[in-house]
Copies of this chain bind each other. A is one copy, B any other.
Amino acid sequence: MSLTLAQLAAALDAELRGDGDMRITGMATLKDATSGQLSFLANGRYRRFLAATRASAVILNAADADAARTAVLICDDPYVAYARAARLLHPAGDSPCGIHADALVDPGASVDAGAWIGPGTIVEANARIGNGVFVGPACVIGAGVSIGADSRLVARVTLLAGARIGQRVLLHPGVVIGSDGFGMAQVSGRWEKIPQLGGVRIGDDVEIGANTTVDRGALGDTVIEEGVKIDNQVQVAHNVHIGAHSAIAGCVGISGSTRIGRHCTLAGGVGVVGHLDIADHVHITGMSMVTHSIRTAGTYSAGTPLMENRLWRLNAARFKQLDRWTRWLHKFDKINNIRKLDK
């Protein structure tokens, strides 16, 4: 796809400085772009590449415009404009329709005529696959699963019986939805399995990354509301409920029956204990463990800073004495009564 700068400016609602007739054929980073390509500056870290870029034009905000030696598209949020320009210049191809000869579709399944079922994919009884759905190669669609219109299963996605997938959902390879939750009761030192009888409901416009797993509910459903975005290698346990428009980065683990609010973000490697309640607009920084419910919007953190190993060893050893010395300080402060803390 090729567009003129004037067309792009109009589509992005951006101010153009430069030749509106110039044709743009694709996007690239400031560092890698060549002639005919559009780039963008949205993170100050990359400003140093602006002067020397060989891009034909750059999306940026007004404050950076003067530093550019190229045509520019000026807008308030260059990152959003970049996303939109990329979609305009690299539109998704049309999805095919039909059922590949090497797919295996149960006669009792319902596949819309406008859906595609790829080779090696297995669709079990009573599954319902909507219009415009793309099911890539080597997927397993369990009995009674429903997939809403225009959803896309890239390849090798496993949806187990009873999963309900909304519209425009994007599922990447290795995703497993509807596996059993980790529920068991201890009886005389042995574990007895608790039947996992619930399902999974995935709202519209959800994206789930490669090799992420979402367990079915034990009783009742695991729920991921509309617009939630989940990265790769995430574990969502049984009966978790993730509120709309939250984003969960890679390697996060959310334990059973926890509710995450709307518009939350969990950074990479965060862990959340089970049965908690996290309010809306809560942000957890990377690799923090959440051990209690959070009632107030805000940003929360745990962990210790990275240090040179020799120094870290010394400090980490002292962590073991932290309570002992803090009690010493309390006592010292109290007995001397000379200077109170926080004065």
Q: Report the stretch among A7-15, A17-25, A65-73, A322-330 that lies at the interface.
A: A322-330
A329 to B331, CA, bound (A): 13
Question: A99 CB to closest chain B CB, in angstroms?
Answer: 14
Known contacts: A253-B269, A308-B298. The answer to whether A45 contacts B275 by CB under 8 A is yes
Do B213 and A174 touch across chains, with their CB atoms under 8 A apart? yes
Do B307 and A320 touch across chains, with their CB atoms under 8 A apart? yes
A58 at the interface (CB under 8 A from B): no
A13 to B59, CA, bound (A): 61
A211 to B237, CA, bound (A): 13
Do A302 and B304 touch across chains, with their CB atoms under 8 A apart? yes
A189 contact set on B, CB distance < 8 A? 245, 263
Per-residue B-contact encoding for A242-268, CB less than 8 Å = 1, 0 else: 000101011101010000000100001
Per-residue B-contact encoding for A83-123, CB less than 8 Å = 1, 0 else: 11011001010000000001010000000000000011010
Known contacts: A271-B268, A319-B322, A329-B328. The answer to whether A312 contacts B306 by CB under 8 A is no
Do B289 and A269 touch across chains, with their CB atoms under 8 A apart? yes
Do A210 and B253 touch across chains, with their CB atoms under 8 A apart? no
Q: How many residues of A contact B (CB 8 A)?
A: 129
Known contacts: A305-B291, A318-B322. The answer to whether A195 contacts B87 by CB under 8 A is yes
Question: A130 CB to closest chain B CB, in angstroms?
Answer: 20
A283 contact set on B, CB distance < 8 A? 309
A102 to B103, CA, bound (A): 10
A102 to B101, CA, bound (A): 13
A300 at the interface (CB under 8 A from B): yes
Question: A140 CB to closest chain B CB, in angstroms?
Answer: 5
A27 at the interface (CB under 8 A from B): yes
Known contacts: A160-B154, A215-B232, A229-B184. The answer to whether A287 contacts B307 by CB under 8 A is no
A235 contact set on B, CB distance < 8 A? 231-233, 250-251, 268
A160 contact set on B, CB distance < 8 A? 154-155, 173
Do B158 and A174 touch across chains, with their CB atoms under 8 A apart? yes
Known contacts: A174-B211, A286-B289, A323-B317. The answer to whether A197 contacts B86 by CB under 8 A is yes
Do A220 and B29 touch across chains, with their CB atoms under 8 A apart? yes
Per-residue B-contact encoding for A195-239, CB less than 8 Å = 1, 0 else: 101000000000101110101000110000001010111010100
A63 at the interface (CB under 8 A from B): no
Do B316 and A342 touch across chains, with their CB atoms under 8 A apart? no
A122 contact set on B, CB distance < 8 A? 119-120, 137-138
Per-residue B-contact encoding for A133-164, CB less than 8 Å = 1, 0 else: 00011101010000000000011101010000
A317 contact set on B, CB distance < 8 A? 305, 323
Question: A77 CB to closest chain B CB, in angstroms?
Answer: 7
A84 to B194, CA, bound (A): 7
A305 contact set on B, CB distance < 8 A? 291, 302, 316-317, 319-320
A216 to B183, CA, bound (A): 27
Do A227 and B326 touch across chains, with their CB atoms under 8 A apart? no
A291 contact set on B, CB distance < 8 A? 286, 305-306
New A-B contacts (17) at CB < 8 Å, excluding given A174-B213, A318-B322: A83-B192, A136-B140, A138-B158, A154-B160, A156-B156, A191-B227, A191-B229, A233-B235, A271-B286, A273-B286, A289-B303, A301-B307, A301-B309, A315-B322, A319-B319, A319-B322, A328-B329
